[in-house]
Structure 1
């Protein structure tokens, strides 16, 4: 019987951030992951403090960025990998009216640190942007695939990763402890993404799920080192490769790429990209989205040593470190969660 402080189920962005919180506080843990959930792997990985459709601030953007950047830097240093790429995000304007809305938004105290007041003229002959761009500041991209693959290898090297499905029926509660197969633990944290819909302890939570699909294109003539946000994102990856995405489908809950989504992305891309390109990749995953656009974090209403860390939606790169720290404080010091992320907002209804 091996004893650990925590069992964590899932190995996406939320799980990794929570593992790092545990490591800082010298807590022992193991992770179960069967690679069934793809949302973190297929994520665009942008950390972007502005909702560019409406020119409004992301919820707790400053607090999230203050935790996220140091965490990913720490992981880079410890695992000797490169995952954090500072990246300008340029919002393509389609009219003078959009320009005016941008500059009006940049005057707001909450957005002033994140929106440049300089109108950026289009310098690429292969991008149709007659009205120019607005630049988002303090933005970048985390290479989520490299992060997750290397973090799993790190866990595996420490005998902390079980690459198998977690069997809920094998949980045995004994006083204040939990037995699971040959493990004994004090707490289990479920960070399963959309997979929580199969979890009998937390499947009552209103996780809706939104399927997203992303294309990778090779465009040798484009030669841009900034991301473009228009009707779709275009994100440079290096070596003339770019991610294009993403779609939103609230009905299809599979991880299977579809021709329909591919056509939708290519149609939108064709409205402003004029160079030749080749589609070289197409991936899909179901984001763990919630109807009120806030994460799902908290303690089970009956079993005090079962917890959920979920619902990070489309902004997992930014949100994961913030909610992980909140959950750790709840478990270890019984500090109250931010009411906007606490699952009790649904349990009480």
Structure 2
């Protein structure tokens, strides 16, 4: 029997960023990974402090950006690579009204550090009304991040490549197979719906498709272009374009309508030939109030959940992993905005 401080169930952003907190604090742990492609692993990896439909920001945006940069430097010390790509977002304006709104919002205290007042014109793509640059935006090298961190976990004996079987958890003795654990943390995304301990948490599946395309006319390599969706280069020579949001078509197949939507969206501003080489989709775990869900089981106090990261999985997963660690290890209260217990209150959203 091996004693561990934590069993982590899952292998997306929530799981790996929490594992990072455990590494920093010399805690013993194992990660149970099904070795499937999670929504995190096929995500765009966009690091963006601005909601680009309305030109607004969100709760703790600057703190989350700063904490991510710090955490990725820490992760670099044991993987040997920093996975943050300096690829700022350039938002294509639809018309003059969007330009004016951007300028107005750039005076806002919360947004002045994010919305660049100098507009740019990009080659190759249609941007008749120019583009606005989002300062402090970037991308995560998603493939590199997961490969690098998972390789580190495996080489240090932290990775168990199998699906955890809930029925084999001995709750009263905190034992799972050969492991005696102090705490068990479930970071399963939409897989939580199969979890007998947390299947009723308020996460809503949101299906997202993206396409990987071969472009006939190449774009600048150091930026991310955004109109309806994000377009940026991949190491493979292809470009990523996506992703869609769909709460209705939740079957486990590619939706032709989503692919058509992406094809039309790209054609709107990329007036050259392109070829769709790959189509990918995943299910984001979203929450009505757009905040993560973190907490412990009402009966089993060493059973925890970390879920509901939504479309900002990188920032949410990184920043709130520290909140969860401090909650468990240092008895610091969770912010009410992310606590599982907020749904038990009469005024819950």
TM-score of the superposition, structure 2-length normalised?
A: 0.95
CA distance in structure 1 between the partners assigned to 2:285 and 2:204 by the alignment: 7
Matched, 1:229 2:226: yes
The alignment partner of 2:273 has SS state of: coil
Partner of residue 74, structure 1: 74
Counterparts of residues 302-317 of structure 1 (less than 5 Å): 302-317=299-314
CA distance in structure 1 between the partners assigned to 2:316 and 2:204 by the alignment: 18
- Using the TM superposition, give the Cα deviation of residue 95 of structure 1 relative to its aligned residue in structure 2, in angstroms: 0.9
CA distance in structure 1 between the partners assigned to 2:341 and 2:139 by the alignment: 32
CA distance in structure 2 between the partners assigned to 1:239 and 1:209 by the alignment: 29
CA RMSD of aligned residues (A): 1.5
Moved more, 53-62 or 145-154: 145-154
Select the residue among 184, 199, 214 that pairs with 1:218: 214
1:191-233 deviation digits (Å, cap 9, x = unpaired): 1111111111111111001011111112142222311111121
Partner of residue 159, structure 1: 157
Matched, 1:59 2:59: yes
- Using the TM superposition, give the Cα deviation of residue 292 of structure 1 relative to its aligned residue in structure 2, in angstroms: 1.1
- Using the TM superposition, give the Cα deviation of residue 168 of structure 1 relative to its aligned residue in structure 2, in angstroms: 1.2
Which structure 2 residue ranges, 5 or more long, are not aligned? Answer: none
1:221-269 deviation digits (Å, cap 9, x = unpaired): 2222311111121122256421100111112335533322111100111
Which structure 1 residue ranges, 5 or more long, are not aligned? Answer: none
Partner of residue 173, structure 1: 171
Select the residue among 143, 146, 153 that pairs with 1:145: 143
Counterparts of residues 267-282 of structure 1 (less than 5 Å): 267-282=264-279
Select the residue among 183, 188, 199 that pairs with 1:187: 183
Partner of residue 92, structure 2: 92
Change (3 A) 1:71 1:303: same
Matched, 1:321 2:318: yes
Partner of residue 32, structure 1: 32
Matched, 1:209 2:209: no
1:289-310 deviation digits (Å, cap 9, x = unpaired): 1111110111111111010111
CA distance in structure 1 between the partners assigned to 2:218 and 2:115 by the alignment: 25
Partner of residue 337, structure 1: 334
Do 1:190 and 1:309's aligned partners in 2 also have CA atoms closer than 8 Å?
yes
Moved more, 13-22 or 81-90: 81-90
Change (3 A) 1:16 1:341: same
The alignment partner of 2:265 has SS state of: helix
CA distance in structure 1 between the partners assigned to 2:20 and 2:52 by the alignment: 30
TM-score of the superposition, structure 1-length normalised?
A: 0.95
